[in-house]
Structure 1
Amino acid sequence: MKKLVLATVVLAMTAGFASAQVVRLATEGAYPPFNFINDKGEVAGFERELGDEICKRAALECTWTTNEWDSIIPNLQSGNYDAIIAGMSITDERSKVIAFSDNYYPPTASAYLAASADADIKTGVVAAQVSTIQAAYVAESGATLLEFPTPDETVAAVRNGEAVAVFADKDYLRPFADESNGALVFVGEDVAMGSGIGIGLRQSDTELKAKFDAAIKSMKADGSINALIDKNFGGKGLKF
């Protein structure tokens, strides 16, 4: 009887360990309000709160790490983590190499932010973050593309005169415009790009994708994603 009880306990513990799936989430940590590093050195922002809730609903144990943007997809493919939640737009080009969850943020406009209203965004030097859909757009627009590893460097390039404008997600650029007292202004027309923002996964991780999709759908249905957008974007973010 003791052997039977012991075997039952061991079996139960083994089953418990097997069901405790740990998912490693990666973000950039430099793209507020989507993601940033707070004063405690922790990942924070809209995607941190969203990711934690998705993991809770999917019954997953999730950990967070940061990775530079230009190598974030290669390191996913190499197995250094299991998913990317970093303000990444869903595009046909990216979908050739990785899979995406359902979008958790609607298709967002990209915009030009410049130091003057007459900035030459058609043929001048325009800054954009490396390996982004905005950088690809500028490269084909006729302007001279100036790429930087991080998004804050693209804004700095406009302020110090290296570029006439920066082209990026308008949701990212809006706080810089609002806080500049008129020193930085939006110019030209907004450009609609991508199919929204989603979680990036390896194409083989179909089971994990299904769990993420189910959690995201439930958050859309009960309004909790919109609530997080309102909270983190100051009421100015796009909602479902």
Structure 2
Amino acid sequence: MKKLMLSTAIAAFAAGAAYAESHSVVRMGTEGAYPPWNFINDAGEVDGFERELGDELCARAELTCEWVTNEWDSIIPNLVSGNYDTIIAGMSITDERDEVIDFTQAYTPPDPSSYLAMDAGLDVTGAVIAAQAATIQAAYVAEQGWTLVEFPTPEETVNAVRNGEADAVLADKAYLEPFSGQDGLVLLERSEMIGGGVGVGVRESDGELKAALDAAIQSMKDDGSLNALIEKWEVASTW
């Protein structure tokens, strides 16, 4: 096991060194509005699970990284156009996204998406469901043929339930759980298994960067530090 951990660490360093030869800084793109995955803290800095994860991945790959925030609805186009080099923003790996960008291996497993509503007995199949635009949850609701209302930010989806614009919101459980019990909001028992786990998005042309991040993620899986980070932030089930 020690040999395996050492080999993945060496792979992360080697791949990172290859990328760093032609790139002085790796710009890590995130939304900064989806706690506990990513958010802006009181000091005005990117914080959360993915900030801590991203910093550790960069350290293991010996990459110099800086953080950039971008609104969710344009986060993929701005990666493709070169405004930053990665997306590390709670983005689930899907076939549709993989046609436009590339992904590392998943750094969290697929986790249930939950419903937050004002009525614990709500039948979601006949309800108006809010979801953040361009998410796997919005796509799921649309695929079911249910009534979907989309909003640019996750905060707006919760507010839509509070003010009666929607009957429930569908999102990652880790995001919705802190709202349960506030203002009469409750998590429903029903949940949905959608998405293929969460990974780092990169441009399809950045194979060296992908390899460096892949090796760093694998080294964190091998030594248990990734599970420890997932448990600390309570974002998903562990590996």
One fold, TM greater than 0.5? yes
Q: Is the 8 A contact 2:36 2:48 kept in 1?
A: yes
Give 2:229's aligned residue: 228
1:132-172 deviations in Å (ceiling 9; x for gaps) = 01001111223211100000110111111110000111121
Secondary structure (helix, strand or coil) at the match of 2:144 reads coil
Q: Distance in 2 between matches of 1:172 and 1:51?
A: 19
How far is 1:175 from its partner?
Answer: 1.4
Instruction: Say which of 139, 150, 157 aligns to 1:136.
Output: 139
> After superposition, what is the alpha-carbon deviation per residue over 1:29-59, rounded to whole angstroms, capped at 9, x for unaligned?
0000000000000000000000000000001
| Structure 2 stretches lacking a partner, 5+ long | 1-19
1:1-240 alignment, distance < 5 Å = 18=21, 21-177=24-180, 179-180=181-182, 183-187=184-188, 189-233=190-234, 237-240=236-239
Distance in 2 (CA, whole Å) between partners of 1:125 and 1:184 is 15
Q: How far did residue 20 of structure 1 move? A: 6.3
Moved over 3 A (4+): 17-21
Secondary structure in 1 aligned to 2:75? Answer: helix
SS at match of 1:93: helix
Please tell me the residue identity of whatever aligns with 1:53: E
Residue 120 of structure 1 deviates from its aligned partner by: 3.5
Q: Distance in 2 between matches of 1:102 and 1:140?
A: 26
In 2, Cα distance between equivalents of 1:187 and 1:112 = 6
TM-score (norm 2): 0.88
Query: Post-superposition shift, 1:237?
Result: 3.5
- How far apart are the structure 1 equivalents of 2:230 and 2:151? 27
CA, structure 1 residues 141+155, in 2 after alignment: closer, same or farther (shift >3 Å)?
Answer: same
Gaps of 5+ in 1: 1-16
AA in 2 matched with 1:142: G
Which protein has greater RCO, CA pairs closer than 8 Å, 6+ apart?
Answer: 2
